[in-house]
Homo-oligomer: A and B are copies of this chain.
Amino acid sequence: MNLDTFEITIFLFSIGVMLFAARSLGELLRLVKQPIVIGEILAGIILGPTIFGLLLPDQYNFLFNSSKNIEIALDGITTLAVVMLLLVSGIEVDLSVTIKQGKAALYTSIMGILFPFTIGFGMAYYFPDLLGIKHESMRLVFALFVGTALSITALPVVARTLMDLNIFKTEIGFLIIASAMLNDLVGWVIFSIILGMVGSAVHGFGFGTTVALTFLFIFFTLVIGRKIINFILPYIQRKITFPGGVLNFILITGLLSAAFTEFIGVHAIFGAFIIGIAIGDSAHLQENTRDIIQQFVTNIFAPLFFVSIGLRINFIQHFDFSIVLIFLVLAFLGKVVGCGLGAYWGGMDKDKALAVGFGMNSRGAMEIVLGILALRFGLIQETVFVALVIMALVTSISSAPLMSIFLRRINFRISFTSLLSPKLIIDSSATDKYEAINELCLLVSEQIKIPPKKIYDAIIKREKEMPSGSMNYLALPHAKMKIEKPVVAISINQKGVDFGCIDNLPAKIILMLLVPQNENELQLKLLSEIAKEFKSAEKVEQLLSTNSHREFVTLLKNRTN
């Protein structure tokens, strides 16, 4: 059986159009600092029956409904695409990160599954009609599905959000990533069990067999398979054409695992995800190979899959406000409270715990993949699927702004004296202010990982707008930089340097303050704290006559209390 000329034309054209729409909307969303995947999903909704199909029904039908064969061919491509997407997602998961994060990650991820799962399951089990169940007979499975759908965090979206907020490599960032990884794994295992319950009619295995085979597969892949892969990867990279051999190895094992899990009744993507974890864990997998497969999948296959979601369904026709609202409330409540509590019990304070909660709230690919399968197996109605997609979009879009509210509150608690460190104090004999500032830039450069020249330029620019000489021998050069938290560095210059001080005295204590961008209020607060500290000439004399930097810091800290 072959596609004919007409079908080939439409097939290639529609893939081209899908990729174009995905990239255009994706870039648009990137401009407003949102994850690209949201643009790709929106592109599908626009290209699908919801908008394009409504406005130009003939053209829409010509492009997407002309022939059954085209639909099958497109379904083949998107199936392959989602398998590849999960394979790459698995490769990105590094379980050792979770283990390193310890108690806090464990609590956060367990609570981040348990709590949303419980409220989702409870709600769906006791009020199935409110949530749009399709067949009353499937009540238990439906409730399990809703619980699971609410508890899987979208790892790629979360990672993207953390990078955008510039907190990927902070304590909170590590905790969120570690928890999301474990969360993913556990969520998928639950999901595969549900599939075993639903699909037993299709694949012919009993529920018990499917679950047993699933756990056997997980155990074999993550324990034995991981070691085998780690053992043979160097051999493949050395003996077989590089990087072609490794690329093929990854794909072949991915496809065969996917086929296996589909065969035992837990959907192909689960196998691809698990084998991805085993492959990604190997230290022998080279960056170059990772990059090729990653780029191709995230730029070609993933967009095709995400666009195809919107093509399946009319989002306006199947929009049910109450179901959407219930799912949104359950989603926010479940994740924010669950993860928040977990992080809190894991030792974080309230604001940090809430920031973690909102950080873990993003849903994305996984809920939607799950939703598609549930729709296909007749477990949910179209309205629930639409609600799931909207829930995924809203939680993802709102994650960054809501997180930053709490991040700002955390930052705002920072006091000037808590930023003092003897290591960031120098004795200087600089003779002008440029030299003095330059010394301080060199001092902090390594700590904040920004080249000294860049800091210097920012400080001098600010200095030219308004000289930072204060009074009582104090100068306060400051600027905003791309950093995670404020930095204070001090130069003690017994001779004094001209900083254009108000009282015409030379500056003997040059205090440089760097504040994260967008933190206006925090900067004002810190500057006023500093001004208060140096108000009395007597205090400053005492500071200037301390014998060590440690003593300098202690004196300042005691004075404040």
Contacts and interface: CB of A to CB of B under 8 A. Distances in A.
Nearest to A31: B239
Contacts of A411: none
A245 B292 contact: no
Interface string A1-42: 111111011111101100110110011001000001000000
A263 interface: yes
B203 A5 contact: yes
Interface in A227-278: 240-241, 243-245, 247-248, 251-252, 255-256, 258-259, 262-263, 265, 268
A371 interface: no
A258 to B, nearest CB: 5
A235 to B, nearest CB: 12
A458 to B, nearest CB: 24
Contacts of A72: 1, 3, 69, 72-73, 76
Nearest to A262: B9
Interface residues of A, number: 64
Interface stretch (A125-133, A145-153, A293-301): A293-301
Given A4-B202, A241-B30, A296-B292, A79 B11 contact: yes
A256 B296 contact: no
B3 A247 contact: no
B300 A256 contact: no
Contact of A251 (B68, B263, B298, B300): B300
B248 A8 contact: no
A83 interface: yes
A430 interface: no
A71 interface: yes
A413 interface: no
Nearest to A77: B76
A74 interface: yes
A262 B4 CA distance: 10
Given A9-B259, A72-B76, A262-B5, A36 B241 contact: yes
Interface of A: 1-6, 8-13, 15-16, 19-20, 22-23, 26-27, 30, 36, 68-69, 71-77, 79-80, 83, 199, 202-203, 240-241, 243-245, 247-248, 251-252, 255-256, 258-259, 262-263, 265, 268, 291-293, 295-296, 298-300, 303, 376
12 contacts: A3-B79, A9-B263, A15-B80, A16-B251, A19-B248, A19-B251, A19-B255, A27-B241, A73-B76, A76-B76, A77-B80, A251-B300
Given A1-B75, A77-B80, A248-B303, 20 more contacts: A1-B68, A1-B71, A3-B75, A5-B262, A8-B79, A9-B262, A9-B263, A9-B268, A12-B80, A12-B255, A15-B255, A19-B255, A23-B248, A26-B241, A30-B241, A73-B77, A73-B79, A76-B77, A244-B298, A292-B292
